[in-house]
Amino acid sequence: MVTAIAVDPSVSLEIGRASNQHGAAIEEIQGLIKVYKDGHVERPQVVPCVGPTLPPEFGVTTKDVVVDKFTNVWARFYVPKSNRKLPLVVYFHGGGFCVGSAAWSCYHEFLGKLAAKAGCLIVSVNYRLAPENRLPAAYEDGVKCVMWLKQEALKGSSEWWSKRCDLCNVFLAGDSAGANIAHNVATRLGSENPYPLILKGTILIQPFFGGETRTDSERNTVQSPGSALSLPASDTYWRLALPCGANRDHPWCNPLGKGSSKMAETRVLPTLMCISEMDILRDRNLEFCIDLGKAGKKVEHVLYKGVGHAFQVLSKSQISQIRTNEMIIRVKTFIYN
């Protein structure tokens, strides 16, 4: 999720014309997404999309690859230079399931840095967005990407990446909505063994969960200072992403709700949870960790103080840069232990 950025006047003019053409807007997050009565969706380009190149000093080779031409799902690979095989991280970007791209410059820079400093090969998935493709479309795309990686590794047609990674150390990761996707992809795979890929854990950065009953961190602040997610925006994202008629206690939104599977009966991989102190999702993330622990699941969490939601991709402040480097070190420790 991102804060609103000023839109070029010519873009505003086009949006105004769209309003006349498509009727009234029925849902909107200022500067990010506008949904019209006839189903038309506008997404101003608030973050530039960039090609798969990084400065030479990163020491990371990047490439975009089509995963499914029928759904137009693709992935961006980040392959660091190394004399040994590296863990594989399948990453899902954030954006409330409704906005964002694996090509967004902020994700491209962050994942290039993560691949280089944490010493891992990353596959960043560009999944389908809501409301055109409501959940579970993003989960299905995540599972499809994992199974595609499996098939590619088995047939050896992608030696440029499969020969450079340790297929026995594969992790599902993401931030915000992407962390929600990583968790749900892991549970959907269940006991299915995507051999030769062996899933070892999930890395959940500020996972986007919700619920009808407000938590203290949601109730006490409409917009957390320094954070990229407000409560009204969160509610709008869920209305656009969940199946029509579902509320925020749907299991995909509230994994601890009454309609959710009991955590003890759910296959959950060892989990690293990265939580931001100034995030409205803080309490939900902490409750999720506590519930996993009570269910006997292996979980560890880190609370990053003084920063808000999505600080690692959207904030250039000194404190955010410090916390981002701390996060990368913690992720590296998790995937190598």
Catalytic residues: 176
Structure token pair of residue 84: 């040994």
From residue 283, give the alpha-carbon distance in Å to each of 2, 276, 280, 301.
Answer: 20, 10, 7, 13
Residue 49, φ and ψ in degrees, nearest 5:
-90, 140
Q: How many Cβ atoms are within 10 Å of 35's Cβ, its own excluded?
A: 23
Answer yes or no: are the C-beta atoms of 307 and 274 closer than 8 Å.
Answer: no
Query: Rounded CA gap, 271 and 257, in Å?
Result: 20
Residue carrying the six token digits 């297929």: 167
Query: Rounded CA gap, 259 and 270, in Å?
Result: 23
E-assigned strands of the chain? 25-29, 33-36, 41-42, 60-68, 73-80, 86-92, 121-126, 165-175, 199-205, 271-276, 299-304
Residue 230, C-beta contacts closer than 8 angstroms, at least 6 positions apart = 222, 223, 224, 280
Query: Rounded CA gap, 33 and 244, in Å?
Result: 18
Nearest to 334 by CA among 119, 127, 62, 46: 119
Structure token pair of residue 38: 């006839």
Query: Rounded CA gap, 305 and 82, in Å?
Result: 33
Nearest to 106 by CA among 170, 189, 48: 48
Nearest to 116 by CA among 330, 312, 328: 328
